[in-house]
Amino acid sequence: MVHKLWHQFPQVEAQLKKLQPYLVAAVTLPNQPIHHQILALLQSGGKLLRPGFFYLFSEFGDQDDEDVLRAGAAALELLHVATLIHDDVIDQSPLRRGVTTIQTLYGSRNAIYAGDYLFTVYFKEVLKTTNNMAELQLNVDSMRDILIGELEQMKLNYRRNVTEEDYFREISGKTARLFWLSCRQGAVLSHSAPQVVELAGEIGMTIGKAYQILDDILDYDGQSQKTQKPVLEDLKSGVYSLPLILAMKGAKSAFKPYLAKKEKMTADDLLAVQRLVSTYRGVEKARQRASELTQQALGLIDQLPAVSAKADLKALTTLLLKRDE
The mean predicted confidence, pLDDT, of the chain is: 93
Q: Which residues contact 25 (CB under 8 A, 6 or more apart)?
A: none
Confidence (pLDDT) at 325:
63
Q: Is the pLDDT of residue 241 over 70?
A: yes
Encode pLDDT of 180-215 as tens digits: 999 999 999 999 999 999 999 999 999 999 999 999
3-state SS, one letter per residue, for 74-108: HHHHHHHHHHHHHHHHHHCCCEECCEECHHHHHCH
Domain count, the chain: 1
Confidence (pLDDT) at 155:
83
| pTM for this entry | 0.93
Per-residue pLDDT band at 229 (split at 50, 70, 90): low
Confidence (pLDDT) at 225:
46
Q: Which residues contact 193 (CB under 8 A, 6 or more apart)?
A: 60, 61, 305
Q: Is the residue at 1 inside a domain?
A: no
Count the residues in the chain: 325
Q: Is the residue at 312 inside a domain?
A: no
* Residue among 196, 204, 202 nearest 175 (CA): 204
Q: Is the residue at 127 inside a domain?
A: yes
Q: Is the residue at 3 inside a domain?
A: no
Q: Tell me the mean pLDDT in the region 32-36.
A: 96
Domain span at 40: 10-307
Q: Is the pLDDT of residue 228 over 80?
A: no
Q: Is the residue at 5 inside a domain?
A: no
* Residue among 155, 142, 227, 216 nearest 181 (CA): 142
Q: Is the residue at 155 inside a domain?
A: yes
CATH assignment at residue 238:
1.10.600.10
Cβ atoms of residues 247 and 288 within 8 Å: no
Give how far Cα 192 sits from Cα of 57, 183, 236, 240, Å.
9, 11, 44, 39
> Residue 313 corresponds to which amino acid?
L
Cβ atoms of residues 150 and 174 within 8 Å: yes
Encode pLDDT of 262-315 as tens digits: 999 999 999 999 999 999 999 999 999 999 999 999 999 999 999 999 999 999
Q: Kindly report the CA angle at 324 between 321 and 325, in degrees rounded to 5?
A: 115
Q: Is the residue at 2 inside a domain?
A: no
Q: Is the residue at 197 inside a domain?
A: yes
Q: Tell me the mean pLDDT in the region 34-44.
A: 94
In angstroms, the CA 63 to CA 118 distance is 27
Choose the weakest-confidence range: 3-7, 88-92, 164-168: 88-92
